[in-house]
Structure 1
Amino acid sequence: MDEYKPYAVFAEVVHASSMSAAAKRLGMTPSAVSQIVRGMEQRAGVALLHRSTRKIALTEAGERCYPHCLRLLEAGRAAAASLEQARDAPVGELRIAAPLGFGNHIAPALAPVLTQWPLLRMSLIVDDVLIDLISSRIDIALRVGELPDSTWIARKLGQMDTVLCAAPAYLERHGSPKSSLDLQRHHWLALMREVQEVTAEAAFPDGGAPLPNFILETVDDHGRKELIPLQTRTTTSNQIALRQMCEQGMGIARLFYADVRHALEQGHLVRVLPQLRLPSYPLAMLTARRDVEPAKVRIAVAALKAYFSSLALEHEPGSA
């Protein structure tokens, strides 16, 4: 867009009423400014300025041209100012994508940020489906589990510990499991994506017990894995619904500790076999780029990191 530069230089010369003053503002030499204006006049075939040793004055053609050049200069300054504002102050819309159930984490993490920066807005898209981050104009995406290959920058926020939970009413009716083998006789709740497909014909072979379709993984103190085959009674595609069904006494579920901490503290849920160590899942934050992040992203990233770091300190994996 070099063809627009002479117009901006010309507007600066008129605004400053001096070639040397305009050159200082533009970071150029006076001779370079003079050459640009003279080249503009030669291409147009008309004089734009009357020059003397002390001052400059607009010609009639220059007077007609100057307002258009001034608007171009002002637009350029406004564009630069908007970029500086985006770099230095959190403004505009912050778009965050997170799995279902993460709304209760995003709110406490970013509420102080929105309070501090009144010109910042937030749109939270919660969905377990991996949406297109670019077409959805996402600034920050939270992901749990292993990440697919991507050009986005991933930053680890921590580990999401999982625990086995049941409602007190369920345990009163069915008893509390004493060992991992006891788990197989209980009603299990699980997410649909964790459950293996079992056909109706194969579900009850020879009229016997149903085939297991859910594998619970545990880890011993030596890091060895144990796989416990289980049969789910109720499944759902929604992490929030899974927790709610567990609280209603419909069975035992493996849930993220961060999601059920308050329910455990209030007695709505009880840890089942707390001595069992279950796998934890990495929690990562994705952003488009790290080197040229606007202020709204930088500040939100820092707030999310601080929140999840404090959350991790509240729980020791394997504790009762």
Structure 2
Amino acid sequence: MEQLKRMAIFAAVVERGSMVAAAEVLGMTASAVSQQIRKLEQSTQVSLLHRTTRKLTLTEAGVGFYQSSAQVMALAQEAEQRLAEMRDAAVGELRIAVPVGFSGRHLSDALAPLLQAHKGLSVQLFFQDERIDLVEKRIDLAIRVGPQEDSTLVARHIGDAVFVLCAAPSYLRAHSPIMSPHDLVSANWLLLSTTQMHETMSLQGPNNQAEKIRIEGRVACNNLLAVRNFTLAGMGISLQPEHEITEELTTGQLQRLLPGWQMPPVGIYIVTPRRDVQPAKVRYAIEALRRHLLAN
């Protein structure tokens, strides 16, 4: 790094024509500039400048070294300019990981205005319910539902999802009625999971009643839409985000079970790798998603 610094000083001396002029530009003293040039010549063991009381001239080696130094400085300035552009303007590829359930219009409605406003921005979306390594996959931000326990990530709470118990009419006609939380224990469950076929569910009911029941899955999937399709096919009971099945509830394709009992709301988060400074594309996307998802 010291050698790169000396190359920059040498290039400034050549371009300004004197140690004094270069010192003014660099915010250094003329003696400090002279000392750095001397160290550069000592380290390379080549004379780069002819010094007289009236002017400085380049040696043959100095001419070639200046050309290389100028190229290095130009590349450094270009790299710095690109970083500044990414910091201040929404440009480049934005990589977003999203649960499958968000593949509807909510996400496109949030991102479309951002893409229209910033022509240098592109978006690549990764839809999957399993959590992926944001750093390994170079993900800029992710939407995640549920507790966020990874301390290496930054999680911003933007709202809550309400999950409802539901089943298709065909399943309810073929099985015992669901009248209380205890009736859920013997039901055919469809779970969003690939690690286990059972889980414990907490329910809150009338008069601050609380029940915690253990449910066993007949089908487990790593994709919420697949769970929903099994539910629509009458294969069992599942938990679904209320805002995603409004149409199915309205048309009667799915029926809400135990309307007096509810699961606690589940947090929705925008998650990013832990960085002190986020590029503009990420900041703008976070704001667009936060504003749109909170409004819906």
Among all aligned residue pairs of Structure 1 and Structure 2, give the percentage whose two residues are the same amino acid.
40
In 1: Cα distance, 2:50 partner to 2:195 partner: 83
Corresponding residue for residue 97 of structure 2 = 97
In 2: Cα distance, 1:230 partner to 1:41 partner: 77
Question: How big is the shift at 1:45?
Answer: 4.5
In 2: Cα distance, 1:188 partner to 1:229 partner: 12
TM-score normalised by L of structure 1: 0.76
Superposition RMSD in Å: 3.5
Structure-2 change in CA distance of 1:38 and 1:265 (3 Å): farther
Corresponding residue for residue 228 of structure 2 = 243
In 2: Cα distance, 1:301 partner to 1:89 partner: 14
231, 234, 238: which is aligned to 1:253? 238
Aligned length: 295
The yes-or-no answer on 1:81 pairing with 2:66 is: no
Structure-2 change in CA distance of 1:310 and 1:221 (3 Å): farther
Ranges in structure 1 where 5+ consecutive residues have no aligned partner? 198-212, 312-320
Matched to 1:288, the amino acid is P
In 1: Cα distance, 2:3 partner to 2:185 partner: 78
Matched ranges for 1:1-320 at <5 A: 1-51=1-51, 56-104=56-104, 105-167=106-168, 170=170, 173=173, 179-180=179-180, 184=184, 188-191=188-191, 193=193, 217-227=202-212, 234-264=219-249, 268-311=253-296
SS at 1:142 equivalent: strand
**Contact conserved, 2:181 with 2:211, CA < 8 A, in 1?**
no
In 1: Cα distance, 2:73 partner to 2:282 partner: 29
Ranges in structure 2 where 5+ consecutive residues have no aligned partner? none
**Contact conserved, 2:227 with 2:238, CA < 8 A, in 1?**
yes
In 2: Cα distance, 1:297 partner to 1:34 partner: 44
Structure-2 change in CA distance of 1:235 and 1:39 (3 Å): closer
Structure-2 change in CA distance of 1:23 and 1:265 (3 Å): farther
Structure-2 change in CA distance of 1:178 and 1:150 (3 Å): closer
**Contact conserved, 2:178 with 2:184, CA < 8 A, in 1?**
no
Question: How big is the shift at 1:305?
Answer: 1.8
**Contact conserved, 1:170 with 1:251, CA < 8 A, in 2?**
no
Question: How big is the shift at 1:174?
Answer: 6.0
TM-score normalised by L of structure 2: 0.81
Matched to 1:40, the amino acid is L
In 1: Cα distance, 2:40 partner to 2:222 partner: 66
